[in-house]
Amino acid sequence: MTVEDRQRTLSPAPDPELCGRDSDNDEPLWKMTWECQERPKDSRWLVAKGKEGHLLVPTDRIRGIECPELVSGAYSDKDHNYWQVAWERAQDWFPKLPWGAFGLGINAKGSRSHEQLHIHMSLVVQGVKDELDRAYAAHNMATDLAHWPYQLITVNGWDAAQSKRDPRSYRVLHTNNLDFNLFAALHESMITIMGEKMAAQTLTVIGANTGPKDGYYILNSRKDLTSPLDVPGIGCCDTLLICK
């Protein structure tokens, strides 16, 4: 791909401080994505391989979850629904699941290692989906956006060494589909209503029960989110997904 071809695929972000600049050639992931595993013609995304799992990366220069254009602006329409695309592509990249679950995740600004938006497409840590299924059956999670900010549960993922359980607090929403702007929903629920910072948020999407026909679990957390049981929150998807 020539420099001219690359530049034609990009849409300028109005706020370079929050969304990044096309000339940010010191960002390794931004450079790496142009040597990718999958990039359909005229798409607004590509798939690059991580250490474990894969990454869905926009072909627009977007630093991360804090970019306001994801909520309402250049990257907020249906052509930029990165979550739905990532889910569809992950089904092809993970045809054989050892315990029946894969997920998607995005990290908070302070918990990520790259300054280019990317969604992890990875296996779910064993046991996490079953725990979410039980919480849903017990009516312990939100089923509409109005209750999402207030419905906290503890989910037992694994620590970074995959050696012991690492319980964390999450606000969990069950939704029937991914055909909406998840960034906008998060902003409305946690920033507009709760007065939090978008840059502090992490999001994880895990398929509910037996598959997409049963909907999705949307898990949100941040480092200083604490449940009534004093279980700490987290700013990354690492305890839920095998996403390095």
d(CA 99, CA 154): 21
d(CA 213, CA 3): 42
Residue with structure tokens 């012991």?
164
Over its C-alpha atoms, the chain yields an Rg (Å, rounded) of 17
The DSSP call for residue 213 is G
Alpha helices in 47-160 (DSSP H): 82-93, 128-137
DSSP H/E element including 29:
helix 28-32
Q: What is the pTM of this model?
A: 0.85
Between 30 and 202, name the one with better pLDDT: 202
How do residues 100-134 score in pLDDT, each as one tens digit? 688 999 999 999 989 999 999 998 998 999 999 99
- Give the start-end residues of each E strand in 107-232: 119-123, 152-158, 165-175, 202-207, 216-221
Residue with structure tokens 């992931």?
29
If we measure between CA atoms, which residue out of 131, 159, 160, 137 comes closest to residue 219? 131
Asked whether the beta carbons of 18 and 62 are under 8 A apart, the reply is: no
How do residues 138-178 score in pLDDT, each as one tens digit? 999 999 999 999 999 999 998 876 678 899 999 999 999 99
Q: Which percentage of the chain shows pLDDT scores above 70? A: 84
Per-domain boundaries in the chain: 3-97
DSSP H/E element including 58:
strand 54-58
How do residues 17-62 score in pLDDT, each as one tens digit? 888 887 887 787 777 665 666 777 778 888 887 667 889 999 899 9
Which pLDDT belongs to residue 240?
95
Task: Tell me the two tokens of residue 67.
Answer: 């970019």
